[in-house]
A and B are shown apart, each in its own frame.
Chain A
Amino acid sequence: MTYKPRFMTSRRSVLKGTGAAFIGLTFMPYKSMAEEEKKLNFYNWDTYIGETTLADFNSATGIEVKMDLYADNAELFAKLKEGNPGYDVIVPTNDYVERMIAAGMLEELDHSKIPNMANIADAFKDAAFDPGRKHSLPYMWGTLGHGYRKSKVENAGSWKASLEGEAHSGRIALLGDGESVIGIALKYLGHSFNSVDPAHMKAAEELLIAGKKHIKTFADDNGQDLLASGEVDLTMEWNGDIIQVMAEDEDLSYVVPAEGSLLWQDCVCIPKGAPHPQNAHAFLNYILDADAGAHIADTIQYATANAAAKAKMSEEYTGNPGIFPTDEVIAKCEPSLYSEEKTKLRSESWTRIQAA
């Protein structure tokens, strides 16, 4: 994904920010620092870190970051399930944070090594899925919504446009992530995103099967490319992905439909068995710094949970309803909750929907 920077963090402000990181480091026992090699293995989503963040972190601390990428939470989970292959920092979404805590896969954080936690916005200082923020710190948050071509689609304000898409038959893409698509169908039908009620599930499945003939494809996290290349006019996608392509095409837009949507939060965590836990704490502290956080938010155009970073951002970013939805919109959204039963039922239902 190409992206046009609108604001560059100045060299000096980065140095100022890294000063804060150094203060963080001095809290660590000297010996443990000396023992750890200057390396960090970061497992992250694609296009989900500031353009120069890793290099800046390296020049500030001397720690060399190696970043691997994954495309979805399931891939991350499957990779770590049989033991950590050597990652120090990972970025799971809230329901997977919950699942990984339940499975004992996350290291407990030492808050004393992360003084920049003070920068976190009040709403994110605690979380229902991780009481006391023992295992996870908020990174970015956002919604699922409609990315659409303004000149072609007028009714994007309701999920009806994509779930019962007669009006745009063959010009629609849904997500390839069954759990979310079924959750949205439930939302559209007026139920909870997390419902496992058999009657609700059945209605959602029937709705999706009936609407399938109008759908072009279930896009695996590339709905924004399909939209930008003109393959579809309407797509169900994550807000940041659409906002990235909106910067290149005036005719594209993003909206959270009126029935409400999924509210997600990606968190930075340290998986059990991380080879460089000290460096990982230093990295977590670094990305929560005001300037470093602002640079990340400016690159990836997702809503940051870092209040100090948000304060440094332009009005264009903070005032963008696609990034920061209004309170009424947020009130209608729900987070996805973890449950093994839900995962199983949704997976089976999704197989049936695709085979129908």
Chain B
Amino acid sequence: MESWKENRIVFWVTALPGVFWLAVFFLIPLGLIWAMSFGEKTSILDVEITGTLANYVRAFEAVYLKIIWKSIWISALSCALCLAIAYPIAFGICFSPPNWRPLLLLLIILPFWINLLIRTYALIAVFRTRGTLNFFLEWLWNLAFMDKLIGPYQPLELLYNNGAVIVGMVYVFMPFMVLPLYATIERLDRSYLEASLDLGASQWTTFWKVTVPLTMPGIVSGIILVFIPMLGMFLVPDLLGGTNAIMIGNVITDQFKAANDWPFGAALSFLLMYVTFLALALRAFIGSRSRGRVGV
């Protein structure tokens, strides 16, 4: 690759659309929201940027910290489940016959073709008291003559609790985990695995000592791609959650809608941004460490 300094015109011509896009659709709106987080509401419509820190101070009230903490553990748990399910899927796709792979990848991407809202409503139809899953379980129950032995089937309450929120999040974000894992596992040099097995390591040891460290960049990218949007999620807790399903994304939405307090909403959004930056720094740290250890 030539240095950009030798061909400045080509560099700027090709870079311009990207720079323009970044500035107009990312930096400027983000800058406006950031400025607003230091503002005060002066009337129904107007916000004055006064440089106040009151919004951030308010964000550290116990009730918001409690909600942020809840968002973090729900997201972390969903993210871990996502990883645990996605890893074998990605592995399976990589080790399947090459002509199957495009089809299998397509199946992973397919849900993207349907709107998120509709997918979430579909989950409601599956999990509700008189939904598909309960009907299926009732059918099994009656098939096994349990209704004669124990009594009629009692439908499971699968919706409107934290479990439903976690299932919904895992379902929605699964492709974001599978794809980066697939990308790294595909590039994995299988001779390392063979060498490890030849030298007497068990499958278990090989997996933990060779495969996982080598695919760590994919794992970290997947976690970041999934965990951060999960933190800001509001649709899934809204539709599948019960009375205490509120996550920080819901509070932010509320500030921009019903409460009409954009400065406070902006401050809460930027708190999430700061968490994101922390996560990215962590990624850089882990990335450099795993490179050092395995020597790739």
Residues of chain A whose beta carbon lies under 8 Å from any beta carbon of chain B: 72, 74-75, 77-78, 81, 99, 102-103, 105, 170, 176-179, 212, 215-218, 220, 229-231, 340, 343-344, 347-348, 350-352, 354-356
The complex places the Cα of A244 from the Cα of B44 at a distance, in Å, of 35
The complex places the Cα of A81 from the Cα of B128 at a distance, in Å, of 37
Q: Does the CB pair A355–B67 fall under 8 Å? A: yes
User: What's the minimum C-beta distance from A202 to chain B, rounded to whole angstroms?
Assistant: 15
8 Å CB contact of A351 from B128, B157, B254: B254
Residues of B contacting A103 in the complex (Cβ-Cβ under 8 angstroms)? 43-45
8 Å CB contact of B261 from A102, A220, A230, A347: A347
The complex places the Cα of A55 from the Cα of B121 at a distance, in Å, of 30
Q: Does the CB pair A99–B261 fall under 8 Å? A: no
The complex places the Cα of A343 from the Cα of B259 at a distance, in Å, of 6
The complex places the Cα of A299 from the Cα of B133 at a distance, in Å, of 34
8 Å CB contact of B45 from A74, A81, A352: A81
8 Å CB contact of A347 from B66, B67, B258: B258
Near A by CB (< 8 A), chain B positions 239-269 give 239, 241-246, 250-251, 254-261
Q: Does the CB pair B258–A351 fall under 8 Å? A: no
Q: Does the CB pair A218–B44 fall under 8 Å? A: no
Q: Does the CB pair B242–A217 fall under 8 Å? A: yes
Q: Does the CB pair B246–A99 fall under 8 Å? A: no
8 Å CB contact of B44 from A99, A231, A356: A99
Proximity string of chain B (130-148) to chain A, C-beta cutoff 8 Å, 1 when within and 0 when not = 1000000000000000000
Q: Does the CB pair A344–B258 fall under 8 Å? A: no
Query: Interface residues of B: mostly helix, strand, loop or mixed?
Result: loop
Q: Does the CB pair B259–A230 fall under 8 Å? A: no
Say yes or no: is B186 at the interface (Cβ < 8 Å to chain A): no
Residues of A contacting B70 in the complex (Cβ-Cβ under 8 angstroms)? 355
Q: Does the CB pair B259–A231 fall under 8 Å? A: no
Say yes or no: is B160 at the interface (Cβ < 8 Å to chain A): yes
Proximity string of chain B (87-120) to chain A, C-beta cutoff 8 Å, 1 when within and 0 when not = 0000000000000000000000000000000000
Residues of A contacting B296 in the complex (Cβ-Cβ under 8 angstroms)? none
User: What's the minimum C-beta distance from B257 to chain A, rounded to whole angstroms?
Assistant: 4
User: What's the minimum C-beta distance from B48 to chain A, rounded to whole angstroms?
Assistant: 15
Q: Does the CB pair A170–B157 fall under 8 Å? A: yes
Q: Does the CB pair A74–B63 fall under 8 Å? A: no
Q: Does the CB pair B129–A231 fall under 8 Å? A: yes
The complex places the Cα of A296 from the Cα of B255 at a distance, in Å, of 34
| Chain B interface bracket (under 10, 10 to 19, 20 to 34, 35 or more) | 20 to 34
Residues of A contacting B63 in the complex (Cβ-Cβ under 8 angstroms)? 351-352, 355
Q: Does the CB pair A78–B43 fall under 8 Å? A: no
Q: Does the CB pair B246–A230 fall under 8 Å? A: no
A75 and B160 contact, Cβ closer than 8 Å, known pairs A229-B128, A354-B246: no
The complex places the Cα of A352 from the Cα of B259 at a distance, in Å, of 14
Q: Does the CB pair A355–B258 fall under 8 Å? A: no
27 cross-chain CB contacts under 8 A:
A72-B258, A74-B258, A74-B260, A77-B257, A78-B256, A78-B257, A78-B260, A81-B45, A103-B43, A176-B238, A178-B258, A218-B243, A229-B130, A230-B129, A231-B130, A340-B44, A340-B260, A344-B259, A344-B261, A347-B254, A347-B255, A347-B258, A351-B251, A352-B63, A354-B243, A355-B66, A355-B70
Q: Does the CB pair A217–B261 fall under 8 Å? A: no
User: What's the minimum C-beta distance from B189 to chain A, rounded to whole angstroms?
Assistant: 49
Given contacts A217-B242, A231-B128, A356-B244, 4 further A-B contacts (CB under 8 A): A72-B258, A77-B260, A212-B244, A351-B67
Residues of chain B whose beta carbon lies under 8 Å from any beta carbon of chain A: 43-45, 63-64, 66-67, 70, 128-130, 157, 159-160, 238-239, 241-246, 250-251, 254-261
User: What's the minimum C-beta distance from B38 to chain A, rounded to whole angstroms?
Assistant: 19
The complex places the Cα of A170 from the Cα of B154 at a distance, in Å, of 14
A220 and B258 contact, Cβ closer than 8 Å, known pairs A170-B157, A215-B243: no
8 Å CB contact of B246 from A177, A231, A344, A351: A351
The complex places the Cα of A84 from the Cα of B81 at a distance, in Å, of 43
Q: Which residue of chain B lies nearest to A213 when distances are taken between CB atoms in the complex? A: B243
User: What's the minimum C-beta distance from A223 to chain B, rounded to whole angstroms?
Assistant: 13
The complex places the Cα of A215 from the Cα of B45 at a distance, in Å, of 35
Residues of B contacting A350 in the complex (Cβ-Cβ under 8 angstroms)? 254
Residues of A contacting B242 in the complex (Cβ-Cβ under 8 angstroms)? 215-217
The complex places the Cα of A344 from the Cα of B70 at a distance, in Å, of 23
Residues of A contacting B129 in the complex (Cβ-Cβ under 8 angstroms)? 229-231
Q: Does the CB pair B258–A179 fall under 8 Å? A: yes
Residues of A contacting B245 in the complex (Cβ-Cβ under 8 angstroms)? 217, 354
Residues of A contacting B244 in the complex (Cβ-Cβ under 8 angstroms)? 212, 354-356
The complex places the Cα of A85 from the Cα of B159 at a distance, in Å, of 37
Which interface residue of A99, A220, A352 has the most chain B CB atoms within 10 A? Answer: A352
The complex places the Cα of A355 from the Cα of B247 at a distance, in Å, of 9
The complex places the Cα of A212 from the Cα of B258 at a distance, in Å, of 21
Pairs A-B, 6 closest by C-beta atoms: A347-B259, A74-B257, A354-B246, A74-B258, A103-B44, A217-B160
A216 and B260 contact, Cβ closer than 8 Å, known pairs A340-B44, A355-B244: no
Residues of B contacting A229 in the complex (Cβ-Cβ under 8 angstroms)? 128-130
Residues of B contacting A212 in the complex (Cβ-Cβ under 8 angstroms)? 243-244
The complex places the Cα of A105 from the Cα of B246 at a distance, in Å, of 31
8 Å CB contact of B258 from A343, A352, A354: A343
A231 and B159 contact, Cβ closer than 8 Å, known pairs A217-B241, A220-B238: yes
User: What's the minimum C-beta distance from A218 to chain B, rounded to whole angstroms?
Assistant: 6
User: What's the minimum C-beta distance from A318 to chain B, rounded to whole angstroms?
Assistant: 34
User: What's the minimum C-beta distance from A242 to chain B, rounded to whole angstroms?
Assistant: 19
Residues of B contacting A354 in the complex (Cβ-Cβ under 8 angstroms)? 243-246, 250
Which interface residue of B64, B66, B243 has the most chain A CB atoms within 10 A? Answer: B243
Q: Which residue of chain A lies nearest to B254 when distances are taken between CB atoms in the complex? A: A347
